[in-house]
Amino acid sequence: MSNGFMGQLLRVNLTEGKITVENLREEWTRKFIGGSGLATRYLYDEVPVGVDPLGDDNKLIFMTGPLTGTPSASASRYSVVAKSPLTGIWGHANSGGSFGPALKKSGYDGVIFEGISPAPVYLRIDRGQAQLCDASHLWGKIVPETEDLLQQGSSENLTIASIGPAGENLVRYAAIMNNKHRAAGRCGVGAVMGSKRVKAVVCSGQERIPVARPDAFREDAKKQIDYLNESMLKVGFDSFGTNMVADMVNIRGGYPTRNWQEGVYDAIEEVNAQAVTDKILVQGVNCFACPVSCGRSTEIREGKWQGRKGEGPEYESANTLGALCGVSDLNAITEANYRCNEYGLDTISTGACIAFAIECCTRGLLRPEQTGGREFRFGDADLVVDLIDKIARREGVGDLLAEGTRAMAQRIGQAAEHFAMNVKGLELPAYDPRAAKITGLGFVTANRGGDHMTAYIQGPTFIDVPFLLVEESQIQDPFAVNPREAQVVVDMENALTVMDATGGCKFMGILVTAADLATLISDVTGWEFGVDEFRKSGERIYNLMRAFCVREGITREQDALPGRLLQDPLPAGAAEGMVIESEMLERLKDAYYEFRGWDKSTGIPTPDKLRELGLDDLVSDLW
């Protein structure tokens, strides 16, 4: 087995209560690297077309990458892959903290859960030995209580990933939480874990991760850390966290407000990074092996939730639980964020579902008898906090909101889907593409649905941050449309897909080049791995992910934005009057598919492209 890997997977058959150890398939690691890439290859091969995402046949795959757990800066990440219960297509969530390194140092690169346990269990991995343990005493507990109970009586410091009541109750956007506050948040992977009746994965162990060229790796990793320590990225994140971008996005007119009816929030100074620093910040928080403290340890210091402590809110959470719902009370936003973490909920989808429900009520599309008689209105901070409890427990109207905006709109009808803000069922992140047109292309082509981290195209547009990982990542004019810039989206998707596969943090893509990262991969694995192979690997993995989606019915037609973005002009701000013109989006898609080598009429990777990438076995599935 190559260096950089432990060389083993755990396969957990929950139906039979049986655990087996198997070797990683070395030919797959060379082609798909690790993390989301390797997990997707297993998922594609082992999950049949059309399975129920919450049924026996779906699989839940945890996977680390070759850099995970090494001294490389920010190499803390792990991926979770499954068929998504929210979107019905390829689902992926990614998290930092210290769980990924702990899983790897317990002796395994990943875990594949299959089947359904007859009773609640948790998986304990202790120095390479794995066992399923009874979790009936943990079922129903929130995430911090679960971690505390599992830690009790152990002389070792355990590292835990778990679900809360939202995952147990199959909320379709439930998250898997680790280190109490870190979320593998998107696509409902927590609901898949809950459907399998797995409450937690508990890791301990200090296995050494083999490195092919340790001296060269230490030297190259130190250069990477030096880049970080000397960068404005570190200064900004250490001082203000991810919410430092709120003012920039608001100035551009793309800060989603009141369910995307507006792009400028008049109360931004109540919820921006300076407000977080002044009102609730305790200190910055780092992930494993990262010198940047972009996380925020916080405490509510006044009001009805005084004394409550936790982490966040991050930028997305501050927007979706704040401006998106018309809420400017930072204490309420923070409490809402804490509750999402405790219940195990994706904050983006949670805030989006609440904002959508509020607008449906204001338009008379949701009746009082459907909402429990309570009036829903923008700006009601208590409503947002209370609805989180109802969503997590599927109580009352929370049962409807737990389904996601796409399913909500289908049930409500009356043209509600015009302002149900999702792509392929995944709720959109807090960047309005009417104010940065190419961002809309990134949303519709992301394999998991409406997603900002796949191409991170809002970096070069809203935030004016070029990515060194991609040689030409600048967008000349965010308000203009240039089909040639679809190449930037393709290149960003490919490069950042490799970052997920390695176990590195995508923010590092701002500071390291493809040559830098290829060298680190080569140092740790011993592979001959240059820039060309780096790019080809990203393209190969991306096409594999698209193939899974195509197999589940995705074509060009589903690469589409919600009607509001196409038809409703922004009412004020720098992007006043702007929409995403349908014809313009179609031209961008044409260019994108051409750059990808996909069939323009269908958006499906062509047989020639699949064969070029060594994915010959997929041709008969798609064609």
- Tens of pLDDT, residue by residue over 77-101, are 999 999 999 999 999 999 999 999 9
Mean pLDDT score, 539-562: 98
pLDDT at residue 400, as a whole number: 97
379 and 511 assigned to the same domain? no
133 and 36 assigned to the same domain? yes
Indicate whether 222 belongs to any domain.
no
pLDDT at residue 292, as a whole number: 86
Return the exposure string of 492-519: e unless at least 16 CB atoms fall within 10 Å of the residue's CB, then b: bbbbbbbbbbbbbbbbbbbbbbbebbbb
Q: Which of 370, 393, 421 is the last residue of a domain?
A: 421
- Which CATH number fits the domain that encloses residue 397? 1.10.569.10
398 and 487 assigned to the same domain? no
Mean pLDDT score, 528-547: 97
Segment 263-305, tens digit of pLDDT? 999 999 999 999 999 999 999 998 988 888 899 999 999 999 9
- Which CATH number fits the domain that encloses residue 100? 3.60.9.10
398 and 439 assigned to the same domain? no
Mean pLDDT score, 313-320: 97
What does pLDDT average to over the chain?
A: 95
Indicate whether 228 belongs to any domain.
no
Nearest CA among 29, 49, 45, 25 for reference residue 37 = 29
Indicate whether 251 belongs to any domain.
no
Q: Which of 375, 393, 421 is the last residue of a domain?
A: 421
Burial of 457 from C-beta contacts in 10 A (0-12 / 13-18 / 19+)? buried
Split at pLDDT 50, 70, 90, the class of 16 is very high
Dist. CA 172–CA 526, nearest whole Å:
41
Split at pLDDT 50, 70, 90, the class of 34 is very high
Q: Are strands 110-114 and 8-13 parallel, antiparallel or unpaired?
A: parallel
452 and 318 assigned to the same domain? no
Burial of 152 from C-beta contacts in 10 A (0-12 / 13-18 / 19+)? exposed
Radius of gyration for the chain, computed over Cα atoms and rounded to the nearest angstrom: 22
What residue type is 525 in one-letter code? T
275 and 139 assigned to the same domain? no
Scan for tokens 């490799």, then name that residue.
Answer: 498
User: Residue 47's domain spans which residues?
Assistant: 8-204
User: Above 90 in pLDDT, residue 185?
Assistant: yes
- Spatial contact of 183 and 175, defined as CB atoms under 8 Å apart: yes
Mean pLDDT score, 192-213: 96
Indicate whether 288 belongs to any domain.
yes
Q: Is 104 helix (H, G, I), strand (E, B) or coil?
A: helix
Indicate whether 607 belongs to any domain.
yes
Indicate whether 285 belongs to any domain.
yes
141 and 37 assigned to the same domain? yes
pLDDT at residue 234, as a whole number: 85
582 Cβ contact list (under 8 Å, min separation 6): 566
Q: How many domains does the chain have?
A: 3
80 and 128 assigned to the same domain? yes
Indicate whether 221 belongs to any domain.
no
Q: Which residue has the higher pLDDT, 535 or 507?
A: 535
Scan for tokens 């995430």, then name that residue.
Answer: 143
User: Above 90 in pLDDT, residue 512?
Assistant: no
Q: Which of 421, 454, 482 is the last residue of a domain?
A: 421
Dist. CA 201–CA 124, nearest whole Å:
6
416 and 462 assigned to the same domain? no
Nearest CA among 17, 101, 115 for reference residue 66 = 101
pLDDT at residue 508, as a whole number: 81
Segment 46-72, tens digit of pLDDT? 999 999 999 999 999 999 999 999 988
pLDDT at residue 228, as a whole number: 82
Split at pLDDT 50, 70, 90, the class of 1 is low
Segment 234-263, tens digit of pLDDT? 888 889 999 999 999 999 999 999 999 999
477 Cβ contact list (under 8 Å, min separation 6): none
pLDDT at residue 510, as a whole number: 85
**DSSP for 188-238, written as a single string:** GHHHHHHHTTEEEEEEE--PPPP-SSHHHHHHHHHHHHHHHHTSHHHHHHH
Report if pTM > 0.95: yes
415 and 439 assigned to the same domain? no
Indicate whether 295 belongs to any domain.
yes
What tokens appear for 464 in the block?
Answer: 């004016």
262 and 200 assigned to the same domain? no
Backbone φ and ψ of 209, nearest 5°: -85, 120
- Which CATH number fits the domain that encloses residue 587? 1.10.599.10
62 and 168 assigned to the same domain? yes
